[in-house]
């Protein structure tokens, strides 16, 4: 069973950022349904377990979008 979380990344500034985040998180095992709201600097995603969420946060950090929240 998956859970949904909203994370916030202050470095999201445009649709290119959103596309990059979606592309990179698509490759993370256990992550699905990624939505990015550029105006709110928010990333909403579904994750299968805490390990998947940790991998997603690590991936976001690696690609230059460290998150707060969650």
Segment 43-60, tens digit of pLDDT: 999 999 999 999 999 999
Strand (E) or helix (H) holding 7: strand 3-8
Q: List helix spans (H) across the chain.
A: 15-26, 50-62
pTM: 0.93
Segment 13-43, tens digit of pLDDT: 999 999 999 999 999 999 999 999 999 999 9
* Domain spans of the chain, in order of start: 3-62
Q: What is the architecture, at CATH level 2, of domain 3-62?
A: 2-Layer Sandwich (3.30)
Check: CB of residue 48 under 8 Å from CB of residue 30. yes
Beta bridge partners of 36: 43
Question: Would you state the torsion angle of the CA atoms of residues 11, 15, 18, 22, taken in this order, to the nearest 10 degrees?
Answer: -160
Check: CB of residue 20 under 8 Å from CB of residue 63. yes
User: At 5, is the pLDDT very low, low, confident or very high (cuts 50, 70, 90)?
Assistant: very high
């Amino acid at each position: 069973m998956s859970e949904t979380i909203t994370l916030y990344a202050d470095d999201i500034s445009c649709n290119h950022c959103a596309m990059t985040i979606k592309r990179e998180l698509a490759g993370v095992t256990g992550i699905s349904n990624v939505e990015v709201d550029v105006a709110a600097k928010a990333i909403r995603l579904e994750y299968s377990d805490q390990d998947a969420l940790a991998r997603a946060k690590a991936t976001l950090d690696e690609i230059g979008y460290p998150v707060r929240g969650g």
